[in-house]
Amino acid sequence: MSGTGYQGKKNIPHLTSERLLIKGGRVVNDDQSQYADVYVEDGIIKQVGENLIVPGGVKVIEANGCLVIPGGIDVNTCLHKPYLGTPPVDDFYQGTKAALAGGTTMIIDHVTPQPGESLLEAFEKWQEVADKKSCCDYSLHVDIPHWHEGVKEELEQLVQEKGINSFQVYMAYKGLFQMPDSQLYEAFSFLKELGAVVLVHAENGDLIAQEQSKILGMGITGPEGHPLSRPEELEAEAVFRAITLGNRVNCPVYITKVMSKSAADTVATARKKGSVVFGEPITASLATDGSHYWSKNWAKAAAYVTSPPLSPDPTTPDHLHSLLSCGDLQVVGSGHCAYSTSQKAIGKDNFTLIPEGTNGVEERMGFVWDKAVAMGKMDENQFVAVTSTNAAKIFNLYPRKGRIAVGSDADIVIWDPDKIKTITAKAQQSALEYNIFEGMECHGGPVYVVSQGRIVFEEGKLQVQQGTGRFISRKPFPDVAYLRIKYRNKMMSKQGVSRGMYDGPVYDVPATPKYITPAPSAKTSPTTHQPPPIRNLHQSNFSLSGAQIDDNIPRRSGHRIVAPPGGRSNITSLGC
């Protein structure tokens, strides 16, 4: 698919003719910075170094000492996710425009099939829409709304034929997308075999459902009900559980939307213990907080509604930036999912119906610079890592994306650390009539953005064309997630202890087995009224094992056997 897409793009004349030389900049990768010029041809970086020999008539960009960084990769956007039949106001065109204006040259969007819908069909629908509208390269995550046997085949096909290596599962949205632990276990096991990265929406949906009905019952219907019913410990709890599942199955886990300090701390602690887990804070959790849910202005309060919610604790953004800087959190997404105020107003009388999502695709890189680099928390190399390189590594795009090197795609941003911009809905690329960062001043921003070797943003002006973005397919088993997993697989093979047969007395189990549920109760699944097969196996085993030496001794129930008949045999005495 990506091949044909690329062929199509070749017809666009200015793409091929574009030869660029970026002069006088400091090339910043995640591992080092160097002063060098960059020469680009046919959408590929051809040379990096000083005094490059380039053909005549090449367009030259003077970087004037600004940073030359790999274009940003935004790994979490929802540009086509419908809510009750209506799509978000930022589609692939509007959304990728906003991304480019902020220095992001690639997005990974979430395909969100409805429960019961085919994953493959949903994927193809998304790809069709994106191919027509996207202005920058893109890839897709596929969400798994519902786990069943039939999904497995589709997942296999998506991984092996369609170039998808990441799938999202939900621990929240009870009765809709939520999976119980046993299904998560199965999903993790299966996805691990495929070499995919498991994305987890981590919130305890059971408790949320309880809290929501409690809070509605108390007469709280406004947006403040949203964070009240989804306190941050429910996020931390689910993160902890997801990591436990990941450890058990030995599968890499990627937590989307890390919104609170306690969830971030849980990720950090797990990494210290060696778990293969990645955490993704989003623009909103890094730049603002949840105190706005209590705004008297309903529309403003509703604009912040997203899940997990922004934490009402105003020290959260600072804490998340600290963890991002030290590497405990790895990737910044935007979680960009733009619903207009009138769409949000679907929930005007009930906060549980407010469509969830905040903007942030355009502001993403700027706020990381402003709040982490400009504050001295993070250096420029780590900035590149969290906005681009780490994402490319985790999702197996590296080094094609996420690095300025010979042979990499020419997705390049000239970044001016001194640029100052005030965020306002009036000046944004997004089609939203609001911006949750309204009025905030942001230091650092792109002066030039080069996407596929073409200048798309220059002196504050965008020159984009819909449909120029290509679908980038991704292979399974990304090294950064799977190298350790592979070693651990070898380590983790377990062996039983070889023992002599136990030959002591065995208590005779009466015919009524233990594991039958006496009365139907809601907590059992409908099919478990028969004992599970493993147990049958052993019940029958017992009746087969034949006569015991003490069969002739009548025993009433509750009778103790202090010393087995024939004295204590060696095997039952407990001296080593």
Partner 1 sequence: HAVHELIIQKNVTRSERLLIKGGRIVNDDQSFYADIYMEDGVIKQIGDNLIVPGGVKTIEADGKMVIPGGIDIHTHLQMPFRGTSTVDDFSQGTKAALAGGTTMIVDHVIPEPGSSLVEAFERWREWADEKVCCDYSLHVDITHLNDSVKQEVLSLIKEKGVNSFQVYMAFKDLYQMSNSELYEIFTFLGEHGGIAQVHAENGEIIAEEQARMLEMGITGPEGHVLSRPEELEAEAVFRAVTIASQTNCPLYVTRVMSKSAADIILQARKKGNVVFGEPITASLGTDGTHYWSKNWAKAASFVTSPPLSPDPTTPDYLNTLLASGDLSVVGSAHCTFSVAQKAIGKDDFTQIPEGVNGAEERMSVIWDKAVVTGKMDENMFVAVTSTNAAKILNLYPRKGRIAVGSDSDLVIWDTDATRTITAKTHHSAAEYNVFEGMELRGAPMLVICQGKIVLEDGNLHATAGTGRFIPCSPFPDFTYKRIKARKQLAILKAVPRGMYDGPVSEFSPMSRGGTPSASTRTSPTKAPLRNLHQSGFTLSGPEEAPIRPAGRRIVVPPGGRSNIISLS
Task: State which of positions 200-259 bind partner 1 (CB under 8 A).
Answer: 204, 206-207, 209-213, 215-216, 218-222, 224-225, 228, 231, 233-234, 236-237, 240-241, 244-245, 247-248
68 touches 383 (CB < 8 A) = no
Site membership for partner 1, residue 466 (CB under 8 A): no
Listed in sequence order, the residues at least 6 apart from 95 whose beta carbon sits closer than 8 Å to its beta carbon are 77, 79, 107, 336, 338, 361, 430
What would you measure as the largest C-alpha separation in the chain, in angstroms? 104
Site of tokens 């299966």 = 190
Half-sphere exposure of 330 (CA within 13 A, CB side): 21
Give the footprint of partner 1 on residues 18-77 (CB under 8 A): none
Minimum Å gap between C-beta 84 and partner 1 is 3
Looking at beta carbons only, is 294 or 487 nearer to partner 1?
Answer: 294
How many CA within 13 A on the CB side of residue 382? 19
499 near partner 1, judged by CB under 8 A: yes
Please identify which residue in 272, 461, 490, 494 interacts with partner 1, judged by CB under 8 A. Answer: 494
Question: The tokens 């502001």 sit on which residue?
Answer: 363
Non-local CB neighbours of 232 within 8 Å, separated by 6+ positions: 259, 260, 261, 262, 263, 308, 311, 313
Which of 32, 495, 546, 554 binds partner 1 (CB under 8 A)? It is 495
Consecutive H or E run containing 537? helix 533-544
- Contacts to partner 1 from residues 556-575, by CB under 8 A: 557-564, 568, 571-575
Q: List the interface residues with partner 1, window 366-425 (CB under 8 A).
A: 425
**What part of residues 501-530 is at the interface with partner 1 (CB under 8 A)?**
502, 504-507, 509-510, 512-515, 517-519, 521-528
487 binds partner 1 (CB under 8 A): no
With respect to partner 1, which residue has the nearer C-beta, 3 or 532?
532
Taking the complex as a whole, the smallest distance from the CB of residue 249 to partner 1 amounts, in Å, to 9
C-alpha 136: how far from its chain's center?
20
The CB-of-500 to partner 1 minimum distance in angstroms stands at: 8
Cα 467 to its chain centre, rounded Å, is 25
**Least Cβ distance, residue 419 to partner 1 (angstroms):** 24
Determine the interface stretch with partner 1 among 86-94, 156-164, 278-286, 362-370 (rule: CB under 8 A).
Answer: 86-94
Closest approach, Cβ 472 to partner 1, in A, equals 28
Applying CB under 8 A, does 541 fall inside the site for partner 1? yes
Judge residue 456's burial from the number of C-beta atoms within 10 Å of its C-beta, 0-12 exposed, 13-18 middle, 19 or more buried: buried
Spatial CA neighbour of 72 closest among 464, 401, 396: 401
CB of 149 to partner 1, least distance (A): 12
Among 348, 377, 419, 421, binds partner 1 (CB under 8 A): 348
Residues 277-336 that bind partner 1 (CB under 8 A): 294-301, 303
Four-residue CA torsion sign, 196, 399, 276, 488: positive
Q: Which residue has the tokens 């047969």?
A: 501
15 touches partner 1 (CB under 8 A): no
CB atoms within 10 A of CB 406: 13
| Residue nearer to partner 1 on the CB measure, 228 or 323 | 228
- Which CB sits closer to partner 1, 460 or 532? 532
Residue 152 engages partner 1 in binding (rule: CB under 8 A): no
